[in-house]
Structure 1
Amino acid sequence: MPHQGWVDGFGRRIDYLRISVTDRCDLRCSYCMPEHFRDYEEPAHWLRFDEIERILRIFASRGLGKVRLTGGEPLLRGGIADLAARIKRLPGMADLSISTNGTQLLKRAQALKDAGVDRLNVSLDTLDRERFASLVRRDVLKQVVLGLEKAAALGFGKIKINMVWLPETSAAELDAMIDFCRAHGFILRLIETMPMGGTGRAAGHASLQPTIAALRERYGLIDGVVAGGGPARYLVSPSGDFSIGFITPLSQHFCETCNRVRLTVDGVLHLCLGQEDQLDLRALLRGGASDEEVIAAIDAALLRKPHRHEFGEKPMKLVRPMSKTGG
């Protein structure tokens, strides 16, 4: 087959796949997963590592080179470092990253580094211990910070700290988070909440645009670029010693340049985070489909990839929480 990239119906090149390796999580962040959530996928439904590797070989055969492992909490999946090593050995796999809440980093960071993981994104919404415990419903802030320090000591470059922008509290916590990230060489990214399920809607929403303008003026920041395959826009200092990113799915959406699709733990390929268009890859694989048949199915699905989400117009549309889709 002649090489060609994955392209959707609007001419956007799809070169980035986010894979949820588990829908389990050891935290219960108030904007993500209901406190008593138990609607997990059965382990028998999870994609096996050989199935994930096969799917990635198929994607890589057409030029996809960026993969992010997500959850739930991906570091809860047994053998995650082994999976990472298998992925990094695939031809053309240029960038492998993991999104984590950081609770397992102290134990797992060395194995992930040895496996070839390139980058880490760590969720951290506050540095206040009481506020953290209230938000995630576990008192583990110290554990997360120690894990971050371990990862930094091991040489993970450009560790990104993802801070969800919560309307009632985040503004008061921003200065402390900026100071923390600058002191450790981390890249802070502020993320607008999305109406994913009842928990996401209950968290509320505040536009980041006033904050972006204020930070630009306060620190003399200019538009810049930071390595990564995602949708963040960045401001950087002229000297290069400070950068901060913004993910703004509602106030300034980035759908025109969307380059990614998501694969859930049970093998469903979601074409848009804010829509329900999907393809059941697990059914194809376990039904005996050849690689050529899988490629044809993905090609057809990408032609259905929506032009954009409808978070603003239809905030009640999605009932699945973020943890069911993958970050």
Structure 2
Amino acid sequence: MTALPNGAGLTDGFGRRIDYLRVSVTDRCDLRCTYCLPKGFKGFEEPAHWLTLDEMARLIGLFVGLGVAKVRLTGGEPLLRRNLADLARKITALPGLADLSLSTNATRLVQHAHELKAAGVGRLNVSLDTLDADCFARITGRDCLAQVLDGLLAAKQAGFAPIKLNAVVQAGVNEADIARLMEYSLTHGFVLRLIETMPIGDTGRQAAYVDVTALGERMAREYRLIPQLLGQGAGPARYWVSPDGGMSFGVITPMSRHFCAACNRVRLGVDGTLYLCLGQNDSVPLGALLRAGASDGELLAAIRAAIAVKPERHHFNETPDKIVRFMSQTGG
């Protein structure tokens, strides 16, 4: 595999170092969260178009060879993909990889937590918008909150750290339950992050938006949390920490205070489409190139050319109707 010389890496046209790749291993999900997928949605990618795990490992290896140090496996719900631990083992064996993480809804974590940890997955992001069972069922379309909470405890027992809880805040839906999520996170030492809804697909545009910048600052004051200073490029969240350091709290604010100037990531769809920005339509069909017989050198050239034209920022506020694909199609 050809790679850039030592010390080199992927830098876009705005001087941002791209060192983080999110990989959707499936666009299927066993939940139907109201802000993500509409009821009755059937526009999933045909399985024949999914990259095989070996094809994914090949593309991920090329990115790592170009300086990408962090990889996150996403979906849809990634634990629906068979033999995911095999892919994790191949990724963690790549020289230069510093971090492999996973985003999940935790419905299947009881069965898979220990295997994934043994395969080299170090960190988890878990979608959890509420601790109220009825509200959970309304948001997700399934009455399975207990299953998710059991999965979180299994992940904690397996040794995952940190475990981040991602709560998409919607006015009049789960806004009143944020304090309960805070108490739960404090009890278990989880990281709680509040996320603003984004106008991605019709479902995202219909979600009841809440400015979590203001909400986060109020919660931090109420719980006497201390602002946490992180280095640039540490991620899109702004954090506070409890006085004993046992729990962190953060907000992700793509709408009220976007963080595009420090963006360090791109996304690979289940079919190998490379998405350069969550809020733009720019993409490159890496999977199609791979299946057409492209060499590693040709794929590396396509990746470099794509990063060079990565958009400066999203325009969610200015053009909220622009992104018609649903979040599950992009890869989280």
| TM-score computed with the length of structure 1 as normaliser | 0.97
Residue in 2 aligned with 1:240?
245
CA distance in 2, matches of 1:290, 1:125: 43
Report the CA distance between 1:226 and its aligned residue. 7.0
Report the CA distance between 1:298 and its aligned residue. 1.1
Give SS of 2:18's match: coil
Residue range with higher mean Cα deviation, 171-180 or 10-19: 171-180
CA distance in 2, matches of 1:64, 1:89: 14
Deviations 1:73-132 (A, max 9, x none): 000000011111111111111100000001000111111011110001100001011111
Residue type at the aligned position of 2:26:
T
Residue range with higher mean Cα deviation, 216-225 or 289-298: 216-225
Residue type at the aligned position of 1:16:
Y
Residue in 2 aligned with 1:322?
327
Report the CA distance between 1:66 and its aligned residue. 0.2
Give SS of 1:103's match: coil
Residue type at the aligned position of 2:244:
S
1:144 maps onto 2:148 in alignment: yes
Contact map agreement 2:71 2:99 (CA 8 A) in 1? yes
- Choose which of 35, 38, 41 in structure 2 pairs with 1:37: 41
Report the CA distance between 1:310 and its aligned residue. 0.5
Residue in 2 aligned with 1:210?
214
Residue type at the aligned position of 1:323:
S
Residue in 2 aligned with 1:19?
23
Deviations 1:54-89 (A, max 9, x none): 111111112111000000000000001111111111
Q: Superposed, which structure 2 residues align to 1:1-327 within 5 Å? A: 2-3=5-6, 4-225=8-229, 230-327=235-332
CA distance in 1, matches of 2:225, 2:188: 19
Report the CA distance between 1:26 and its aligned residue. 0.3
Contact map agreement 1:16 1:229 (CA 8 A) in 2? no
Contact map agreement 2:213 2:251 (CA 8 A) in 1? no
Residue type at the aligned position of 2:242:
S
CA distance in 1, matches of 2:308, 2:324: 24
Contact map agreement 2:194 2:252 (CA 8 A) in 1? yes
Deviations 1:252-277 (A, max 9, x none): 10000000000000110000000001
Residue type at the aligned position of 2:172:
E
CA distance in 1, matches of 2:28, 2:12: 31
CA distance in 2, matches of 1:306, 1:77: 31
Contact map agreement 1:262 1:269 (CA 8 A) in 2? yes
Contact map agreement 1:66 1:229 (CA 8 A) in 2? no
Contact map agreement 1:187 1:244 (CA 8 A) in 2? yes
Residue type at the aligned position of 2:289:
L
Between the two proteins, the alignment pairs up a number of residues equal to 327
Deviations 1:196-229 (A, max 9, x none): 0000011121211221221232233232157995
CA distance in 2, matches of 1:230, 1:41: 29
CA distance in 2, matches of 1:147, 1:60: 30
Deviations 1:248-303 (A, max 9, x none): 00101000000000000011000000000111001211112121211111111111
Residue type at the aligned position of 1:148:
L
CA distance in 2, matches of 1:130, 1:226: 37
CA distance in 1, matches of 2:44, 2:172: 30
Cα RMSD of the aligned pairs, angstroms, is: 1.4
CA distance in 2, matches of 1:101, 1:61: 30
Contact map agreement 1:85 1:115 (CA 8 A) in 2? yes
Deviations 1:158-212 (A, max 9, x none): 1000000111133310111111111111110000000000000111212112212
Residue type at the aligned position of 1:53:
A
Residue type at the aligned position of 1:273:
L
| TM-score computed with the length of structure 2 as normaliser | 0.95
